[in-house]
Chains A and B, each alone.
Chain A
Amino acid sequence: MAIVGQRRRFTLFDYVNYLFMVVLCASVLYPIMYLFFLSVSTREGLAEASSSILLWPQGFSWGAYEGFVKQSYIYTGYAYTVGRTLIGTFLSVLFMSLAGYALSKYIPFKKSITFYFILTMFFSGGLIPTYLLIKNVGLIDNPLVYILAPPFLYNTFYMLILRNFFMTIPGSLEESAKIDGANDLRLFFTIMVPLAAPAIATISLWVAVNHWNSWFDSIIYMQSPEKQVIQVHIRKLIIEQSARMMSQTVSFFDKAEAPTGESIKAAAILITMFPILCVYPFVQRYFVKGVVMGAVKG
């Protein structure tokens, strides 16, 4: 692109500023590249390397990844993460859109109902009472908890963003559809949802990323390891340094050619963040739009 403002000269400030930006980008990208290089390096390669500042892979092998393909916990963890993200996001956005649409209309008691939702943003029972409730309704160790438990199925803030968007749709459209004989249900699905697509897409992305990254609900509500999400397995492997987890993983490898523990851990981190790494460049502009929209109107 052309330089903006031809008369301005590159000063010392600009050099420092540009350098700072490069350092910032490197601080984000290098750790990820480092993990990748580490994950594909071989045991001998890493032993020969004179430093652990990897600028390229030391040797090359997909061994650390192949091990995971045989791991049962990676499969179940991934399955639960993908499942909750798809089903959870669909249901959550469907129900939030319905509620958000209803709140955008003039109906009796609308103010009280809105207040009923907003109040929960400022005061809640807290960890223990919520946990006891989930226990009492029988959702402990039940995968439904991933979809039903707060904060996922409904989120007041997202509902209000959807409501604000529905309010910008002209009422005349609705009237003409009603004259043509559509009832509210039909009107909502055939006219309102397509018109609100930008807002619905933004909220869907937010909910989906939250689902993908969620881990705490899995730790407290799920006792069976085979029902826990991928993030929890990664946590056990790396943060809790669970010896059982590590030996379970390592035992799948042939002793002589086994990748190092560090390669396995690096591969595990990358496997978990891979989907986000792939989609985030495409979805971030919707996120930005949503942030600005939420900030201006919220």
Chain B
Amino acid sequence: MMRQNQLVREIIKHKYMYLFLFPAIVWFFIFYYIPIYGVTIAFKDFSIMDGILGSEWIGFDHFERMFGAPEFTRVLRNTLIISFLKLIFVYTSGLFLALALNELFHDKFKKIVQSISYLPHFLSWVIIGSIMVEILSPSSGLVNYMIKAFGGKPIYFLAETEWFVPVLILSDVWQSVGWGSIIYLAAIAGVDPQLYEAATMDGAGRFKKIWHITLPSIANVIIIMMIFNVGNMMNAGFDQIFNLYNPMVYEVADIIDTYVYRVGLVQMDFSFSTAVGLFKNVIGLILVLLVNRMANRYGQTGLW
């Protein structure tokens, strides 16, 4: 009785705080929790007329169809391949840039390079995609002009399956390398300068210093960033791919997210598309949980 009164008093005392939180609680309920309930249509024969509640339960039919569909195997494979290549190239490019920037002598030059390299991070993939379409155009684009100038044949980069994925990876490196270096530069700035002085005394060259001092000192940041990237494996980059791909390269470019969009919102197959999305979310959630455990083990800096 006493305790309950105390709780009520505490709540009344902080009534403004609950008032501040109220819109957030309502908003999250409507825009996040109701759609989570909406996931049940993956197990229903959903029709717009009957609504989510009125549609009939059909169990795992959509999932059986999903695992039997050749496109599903294709999008799953593409998602994993593109994610994996991005993990290798895009992720390491930020680290390399940070190490290279750290070797520059002129601070002002370093600042200018950094500022310029951040620019693409501020542009949407619609804009970057548009720039790429213009520059890679087989008839009037800059890149193909150069290829022709050297006697080569123009390449339709965005429509050829063997070129599409390299273009994807390279453009992602271009967009994110500068921004990706920030975290590592911050970590490098925290390394004790005495370590470098001592190494110089011992006659270490700069590669030796990078290898034996810089990298080990920032190892936990590297591992943690790597781990979080693994947790994000199911997202191969919807914005980028959606703005660059076309039916000619679906074979290598179609990923789970673009497939969910097409089947769901273009072909209006709501239930099946939700089932595919649910599969992706569940695998993604499992990856995040695993990865957080690993992050806690390696550096005690997991998310929770």
Residues of B within 8 A of A188 (CB): 16, 20
Contact with B along A107-137 (1 / 0, CB 8 A): 1100001001110101111111111110001
A1 beta carbon closer than 8 Å to chain B = yes
B105 beta carbon closer than 8 Å to chain A = yes
How far, in angstroms, from A107 to B182 measured CA to CA in the complex?
Answer: 36
Contact with A along B32-54 (1 / 0, CB 8 A): 11111111010000000000100
B92 beta carbon closer than 8 Å to chain A = no
Chain A interface, number of residues (Cβ within 8 angstroms): 92
**Given A102-B20, A127-B277, A128-B41, A265 contacting B130 (CB threshold 8 A):** yes
B278 beta carbon closer than 8 Å to chain A = yes
CB pair A235–B14 under 8 Å, yes or no, is no
CB pair A125–B32 under 8 Å, yes or no, is yes
CB pair A124–B260 under 8 Å, yes or no, is no
**Given A269-B131, A284-B115, A231 contacting B124 (CB threshold 8 A):** yes
Residues of B within 8 A of A122 (CB): 285, 288
Residues of A within 8 A of B25 (CB): 113, 116
A252 beta carbon closer than 8 Å to chain B = no
Starting from the known contacts A98-B24, A231-B124, 17 additional A-B residue pairs (CB-CB under 8 Å) come to A14-B105, A17-B104, A20-B100, A118-B304, A120-B33, A126-B280, A127-B264, A128-B265, A131-B265, A132-B35, A133-B38, A185-B16, A216-B239, A231-B126, A234-B127, A262-B134, A269-B134
CB pair B103–A13 under 8 Å, yes or no, is yes
CB distance from A49 to the nearest CB of B (A): 11
CB pair B145–A52 under 8 Å, yes or no, is yes
Could you say which of A58-66, A68-76, A196-204, A290-298 contacts chain B?
Answer: A290-298
CB pair A123–B140 under 8 Å, yes or no, is no
Q: Tell me the A residues contacting B by CB distance below 8 Å.
A: 1, 3-5, 8, 10, 13-14, 17-18, 20-21, 24-25, 27-29, 31, 34-35, 51-53, 95-96, 98-99, 101-103, 105, 107-108, 113, 116-118, 120, 122-133, 137, 148-150, 153-154, 159, 183-185, 188, 209, 212-216, 220, 231-232, 234-235, 238-239, 262, 265-266, 268-269, 272-273, 276-277, 280-281, 284, 287-288, 291-292, 295, 298
Residues of A within 8 A of B118 (CB): 280, 284, 287-288
CB pair B140–A150 under 8 Å, yes or no, is no
Main secondary structure of the interface of A (DSSP, over half): helix
CB closest chain-B residue, reference A159: B24
Residues of B within 8 A of A17 (CB): 100, 103-104
How far, in angstroms, from A137 to B7 measured CA to CA in the complex?
Answer: 36
Residues of A within 8 A of B264 (CB): 127-128, 131
9 pairs of A and B residues whose beta carbons are closest in the complex? A125-B35, A129-B38, A184-B16, A213-B124, A126-B277, A129-B35, A98-B20, A102-B17, A102-B20
